[in-house]
Each structure stands twice: as structure tokens, then as C-alpha cells.
Amino acid sequence: MQSQWVRHTAYALVLSYGLSVFFWLGFGVFNLVGFIVVSALTAALGVASGWVLGKKLGITLLATFVFRILAYLLMTGFFQR
């Protein structure tokens, strides 16, 4: 069970930080605090969601992806239009 938690956490962190790097390189958006804190927070939310909804890795990755995209949109002011 612990190895499953570690696997979910590792994949969520890689996905979240990978998306952060993509945003940084693709859109020129970079903030060190945001990079570290927001990526870790969205990964944690993704792991928690995947764990609660049946301990499925696919749900963890999808939830992490959705939370990271929402965080990006919030940070860029997309919802303030």
C-alpha cells in the first residue's frame, strides 16, 4: 500500500512540475515561488483525489492535470475577465 502511495505521488509530482516547465518554456511565464508551491500543491490535490476516488493512477494523473491547468488559469487572471 505504501509503494502505491509513493508511485501516485511520484507520478503526480512529475506531471505537475512537467506542466510548470511547459508553461515556463511555452508561454514565458515563470515565478519561482509559484513554480515550487503551486506545483507541489496541485500534485498533492491530485494524489488526494486519486486516492479518495479508488486509488487509481489514471484518476490521480487526470486530477493533477486539471488542478494544474486551473492553477495556471487563476495565476494568469483568466477568470477575472
Instruction: Give the whole-angstrom CA distance, residue 60 versus residue 78.
Output: 25
Instruction: Give the whole-angstrom CA distance, residue 65 versus residue 16.
Output: 7
pTM of the model: 0.84
Res 1: pLDDT: 63
* Domain range annotation of the chain: 2-80
Grid cell, residue 81, equals: 475577465
pLDDT averages per 10-residue partition of the chain, 81 residues: 86 91 80 85 94 91 93 83 69
